[in-house]
C-alpha cells in the first residue's frame, strides 16, 4: 500500500482551510508542498506565509519539495516552516552529500529529486544515505502536465539499485499520477505517490486518495 501525498499546489487557494480538513479526514499520508523560486523552475509558489498557518491545522506530515537554486540557504528556514521530509534537486546541489547530511542534522528526512532527463545511476554514491528519492514524471514547474512514460523504467532501475544498498528507500513519483498509472508505478517499485489534479480536481477527492492507496 503506497504512501499518498496530495499536492498543495493543485488546491483551490481560496479554500485552503477546507482542503486541509479534507486531507485530515482522508487516507492521505503526507501533504506534498512544492516550493519554487522562479529561477530553478519558471514558476513561483509559496513559503512561510502559507506553510506556517497550514501546519497548525494539517495533521499530516509536510513533504516539502524544494525546486530552488542553492537550496542549502533554506534548509533551516523550511525546518522552521514545518517540513518533516525535505527534498532537494540533484541538479541544484553542488555538494549533495553535504546537503543530505545537513538536512538530517536538522531532524528531517532527507530526499533527492531527479528531473526527467537525469539518470538514476548518478545517485549511486549517496543512495545509502537517503530516506527517499523523488522521481519527476513531468518537467517540474507547472501542474497538469502529461506523464512521461520512461518513468516506469527509471523506477525499476532505481529499485534494483536500492535493494542492494538501501532496501528501505522510499521511491516517490511526482507528476501526472492518477488512478490509471498508479498501479503500474507501484509494480515497478514506487511506494509513494504525489497527486495534484487527480485529487483536487476530482468530484470526490477522498475517494481518489482511497483509490491511490489501493494501487
34 is catalytic: yes
Instruction: Pull the grid cell for residue 166.
Output: 538501501
Give, rounded to a whole angstrom, the gap between the first and last alpha carbons of the chain: 7
Beta bridge partners of 194: 5, 174
CA gap 25, 28 in Å, rounded: 8
37 is catalytic: no
Q: Give CB contacts under 8 A, 24+ apart, made by 88-96.
A: 88/112, 88/113, 89/40, 89/113, 89/114, 89/115, 89/140, 90/114, 90/115, 90/118, 90/122, 90/123, 91/40, 91/115, 91/118, 92/40, 92/66, 92/67, 92/68, 96/126
Q: Which of 29, 34, 63, 131 is catalytic?
A: 34
CA gap 3, 192 in Å, rounded: 4
Q: Which of 29, 37, 131, 174 is catalytic?
A: 174
CA gap 196, 199 in Å, rounded: 6
- Beta-strand ranges (E) seen in 68-164 are 83-89, 109-114, 132-136
- Supply the residues annotated as catalytic: 34, 174
Amino acid at each position: 500500500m503506497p504512501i499518498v501525498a496530495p499536492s498543495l499546489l493543485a488546491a483551490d487557494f481560496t479554500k485552503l482551510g477546507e482542503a486541509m480538513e479534507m486531507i485530515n479526514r482522508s487516507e492521505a499520508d503526507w501533504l506534498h508542498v512544492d516550493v519554487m523560486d522562479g529561477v530553478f523552475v519558471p514558476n513561483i509558489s509559496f513559503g512561510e506565509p502559507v506553510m506556517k498557518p497550514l501546519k497548525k491545522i494539517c495533521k499530516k506530515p509536510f513533504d516539502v519539495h524544494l525546486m530552488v537554486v542553492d537550496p542549502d540557504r533554506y534548509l533551516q528556514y523550511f525546518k522552521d516552516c514545518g517540513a518533516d521530509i525535505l527534498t532537494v534537486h540533484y541538479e541544484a546541489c553542488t555538494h549533495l552529500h553535504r546537503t543530505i547530511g545537513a538536512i538530517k542534522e536538522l531532524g528531517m528526512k532527507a530526499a533527492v529529486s531527479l528531473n526527467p532527463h537525469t539518470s538514476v545511476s548518478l545517485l549511486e554514491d549517496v543512495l545509502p544515505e537517503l530516506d527517499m528519492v523523488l522521481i519527476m514524471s513531468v518537467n517540474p514547474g507547472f501542474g497538469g502536465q502529461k506523464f512521461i512514460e520512461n518513468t516506469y523504467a527509471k523506477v525499476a532501475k532505481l529499485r534494483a539499485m536500492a535493494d542492494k544498498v538501501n532496501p528501505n528507500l522510499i521511491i516517490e513519483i511526482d507528476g501526472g499520477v492518477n488512478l490509471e498509472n498508479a498501479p503500474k508505478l507501484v509494480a515497478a517499485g514506487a511506494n509513494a505517490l504525489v497527486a495534484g489534479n487527480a485529487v483536487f480536481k476530482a468530484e470526490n477527492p477522498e475517494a481518489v486518495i482511497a483509490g491511490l492507496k489501493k494501487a
